[in-house]
A and B are shown apart, each in its own frame.
Chain A
């Protein structure tokens, strides 16, 4: 397996879902029955290919940091625009994540979307979404990344608004698209700064230039700004505060879409981007990212506690977990941030698909009982599903345990790593607010996830519908089971309490920062003793490979500190998760505390959380109404001032025309008429002479002849 082979294979992986999209979208009538099978099989092949690529990268070429090729697209003046694809460990892992989730979602949708009138189109959209997401994953430059970034925005718009007959779905898709655009604008500005300053879009070229001391416009502030602007793209896509508002609304899309887009792939794109450009963030940019992540994690966890819509709880939980990942990257715990991205992808997709399974069952039961007014997504209508849907329950429970961070699960490994990272960061920098946000979010996560589980699955059925639900068939169960199994610890690390010792942490070493020493946290600067290998191994086929540094005990001081904080973090997070779970059981299962009374006591807080911190209202009042007001003002300006000027000039022209017309009519025409009149008068006089009598003429001739002769002589 050569390097070219791996890259070509990843190009095929990229193009296969596009093929699926093209086949289906142009043959919707002919593929009504076969569309799901075509696309699922294509995605299955894609998954196998990505496993091969990941094996090739992670095992065969594990010592080469980045396999890539670059291709000159076109020249603009003296700058050439280069594009290309690249595979490193991060991309290889992401290929598996995206393809596996996409494959399982395809499979799930075969059953879930059955009977929809745009059945084939759904699979076509899933195809183009997967294509765009894979494009982001294997982009080795900002330009490719941005192109596919926007494609993801478009395809998520199509998928969220798939049931566009529903106003709420149409609005949600618009909201998602526009909110993302806000972030993308920042991303675009960041890319422009990078291109302007470094003349290239390539990640490694940019990093090389920065590490050689080239700063954009010679200013460290601009470098920080560039990092934050690029991160703004991630704020939009990964639904970070303050652009998180689109994600909960996006739950209007079909549930498999929520699982695909809002659990594992699209929202992970922002985190992936942040990880990709990790080396160029300065200390200030990192602090910004860390605070954004921490605050998002905390805020959305508080909102998730009071939501009653099954999918909305999961949506806010997603926002919260994404906050975790971003926070992890912000504090420098790169490995654990990405680790959490992967583990979260499995268990959150599992949770979403399980919720899809529940909603599907509720729908069926409602259909069976001719009951159409019930909200099938409201957990207050559920309860007791444990007995009717055991497979769904146990997979959901496993994923819940994982997200709550109970030992022996993947979630524990990654979350523990992140929390250790925040503790280490706080210890080194003094920003203790970040771990406080992190730990309280962990507590709330455990609480609301078990609240959801208990309300939906435990106890007695709260409605007839819930009583008559049935377990779904294998197409729905299989993805759940597979994803639940992937939430177990031993896939990532044999030691169930230390994620840092497993193969995962070894394969995804933190990217080395390239920012000059005086702009970076000193604990992120690689240790001096480390052996730097700058030797480039350029193969004649255009590869640029960089050797991984020799194995070293700790990459930098931060890694060491994480290791020291590991047991503290584990102890604290165990305690906190236990508290959260215990509290949830105490309140909702054993009903020792009356939740209504508690709610009554903290009514303002409860309402604050129930209304999602009033973000939608605030945005409505400020940005949306502001925009509308601005548009109105613009309209007024246009219709009054601009139109007025146009009308005035028209009026002036009209007056001028009238005056010129007057001049023409009176003076010019008058002169012409006068001449004609004069000639007419003369003519009338002369006409009398012509009597028609020949004799008269002769007489006159004779007379004048005589006069003439007389005059001559």
Chain B
């Protein structure tokens, strides 16, 4: 069986679902962040796969690179927020941080 576009997309979809599942189910903010990374990486796989199977150009690669940089920046910001949350609440349990409601 030859590895094709379908397989890439399948891996990507599984990865995406795992990411979403992680985000929804985990209590710890760090783990939620990890789930987010999974989703971003599944998107990256999609970009690269489409780049490979639909004529070689670098559009997909560039987008993937952007996403990686974005993820790095995002993690930096997110971790800063979590640090502040931790200083206020002494935990990063995301269930119990519902101040956005107000």
Contact for B20 among A691, A692, A702, CB less than 8 A = A702
Is residue B32 within 8 Å, beta carbon to beta carbon, of the partner chain? yes
CB-CB < 8 A to A691: which residues of B? 98, 101
Is residue A699 within 8 Å, beta carbon to beta carbon, of the partner chain? yes
Bitwise interface map of A from 682 to 703 toward B, beta carbon under 8 Å scored 1, else 0: 0000000011111100110010
Is residue B92 within 8 Å, beta carbon to beta carbon, of the partner chain? no
Contact B94 A690 (CB under 8 A): no
A698 to B24, CA, bound (A): 7
Is residue B49 within 8 Å, beta carbon to beta carbon, of the partner chain? no
Bitwise interface map of B from 17 to 37 toward A, beta carbon under 8 Å scored 1, else 0: 000100111000000100000
Is residue B2 within 8 Å, beta carbon to beta carbon, of the partner chain? no
CB distance from B84 to the nearest CB of A (A): 15
For B95, the closest partner residue in chain A by CB is: A693
Identify the 10 closest CB pairs spanning chains A and B, nearest first. Answer: A692-B101, A692-B98, A692-B100, A699-B24, A695-B24, A693-B98, A690-B101, A698-B23, A698-B24, A702-B20
A699 to B22, CA, bound (A): 11
CB-CB < 8 A to B102: which residues of A? 692
Bitwise interface map of B from 76 to 98 toward A, beta carbon under 8 Å scored 1, else 0: 00000000000000000011011
Q: Is the interface of B mostly helix, strand, loop or mixed?
A: helix
Count chain A CB atoms within 10 A of each CB in B20, B24, B97, B99 and give the residue with the most.
B24
Chain A interface residues toward B at CB < 8 A: 690-695, 698-699, 702
CB-CB < 8 A to A695: which residues of B? 23-25, 32, 94-95
A693 to B25, CA, bound (A): 12
15 contacts between A and B (CB under 8 A): A690-B101, A691-B98, A691-B101, A692-B97, A692-B99, A692-B101, A692-B102, A694-B94, A695-B23, A695-B25, A695-B32, A695-B94, A698-B24, A699-B24, A702-B20
A695 to B25, CA, bound (A): 8
A691 to B97, CA, bound (A): 10
A695 to B97, CA, bound (A): 11
CB distance from B40 to the nearest CB of A (A): 15
CB distance from A501 to the nearest CB of B (A): 129
CB distance from B30 to the nearest CB of A (A): 14
For A694, the closest partner residue in chain B by CB is: B94
Bitwise interface map of B from 51 to 75 toward A, beta carbon under 8 Å scored 1, else 0: 0000000000000000000000000
CB-CB < 8 A to B95: which residues of A? 693, 695
Chain B interface residues toward A at CB < 8 A: 20, 23-25, 32, 94-95, 97-102
A695 to B23, CA, bound (A): 7
A698 to B22, CA, bound (A): 11
CB-CB < 8 A to A690: which residues of B? 101
Known: A692-B97, A692-B99, A699-B24. 13 other contacts (CB 8 A): A691-B98, A691-B101, A692-B98, A692-B100, A693-B94, A693-B95, A694-B100, A695-B24, A695-B25, A695-B94, A698-B23, A698-B24, A702-B20
CB-CB < 8 A to B32: which residues of A? 695
CB-CB < 8 A to B25: which residues of A? 695
For B26, the closest partner residue in chain A by CB is: A695
A702 to B99, CA, bound (A): 22
A693 to B95, CA, bound (A): 6
CB-CB < 8 A to B97: which residues of A? 692
CB distance from B88 to the nearest CB of A (A): 15
CB distance from A245 to the nearest CB of B (A): 98
A103 to B62, CA, bound (A): 130
A693 to B100, CA, bound (A): 8
For A690, the closest partner residue in chain B by CB is: B101
CB distance from A685 to the nearest CB of B (A): 16
A695 to B28, CA, bound (A): 11
For A693, the closest partner residue in chain B by CB is: B98
A424 to B97, CA, bound (A): 135
A683 to B99, CA, bound (A): 19
CB-CB < 8 A to B99: which residues of A? 692
A495 to B21, CA, bound (A): 155
CB-CB < 8 A to B98: which residues of A? 691-693
A693 to B24, CA, bound (A): 10
CB-CB < 8 A to A698: which residues of B? 20, 23-24
Count chain A CB atoms within 10 A of each CB in B97, B100, B102 and give the residue with the most.
B100
CB-CB < 8 A to A699: which residues of B? 24
CB-CB < 8 A to B20: which residues of A? 698, 702
CB-CB < 8 A to B24: which residues of A? 695, 698-699, 702
CB distance from B101 to the nearest CB of A (A): 3
CB distance from A703 to the nearest CB of B (A): 10
CB-CB < 8 A to A692: which residues of B? 97-102
A692 to B97, CA, bound (A): 8
CB distance from A704 to the nearest CB of B (A): 13
A694 to B35, CA, bound (A): 14
CB distance from A709 to the nearest CB of B (A): 12
CB distance from A299 to the nearest CB of B (A): 108
Count chain B CB atoms within 10 A of each CB in A694, A698, A699 and give the residue with the most.
A694
A694 to B97, CA, bound (A): 9
CB distance from A304 to the nearest CB of B (A): 111
A698 to B97, CA, bound (A): 15
CB distance from B31 to the nearest CB of A (A): 11
For A700, the closest partner residue in chain B by CB is: B24
CB-CB < 8 A to B94: which residues of A? 693-695
A692 to B95, CA, bound (A): 9
A693 to B23, CA, bound (A): 12
A573 to B94, CA, bound (A): 142
CB distance from B79 to the nearest CB of A (A): 16
A522 to B86, CA, bound (A): 137
A699 to B102, CA, bound (A): 20
CB distance from A698 to the nearest CB of B (A): 6
CB distance from A191 to the nearest CB of B (A): 93
For B100, the closest partner residue in chain A by CB is: A692
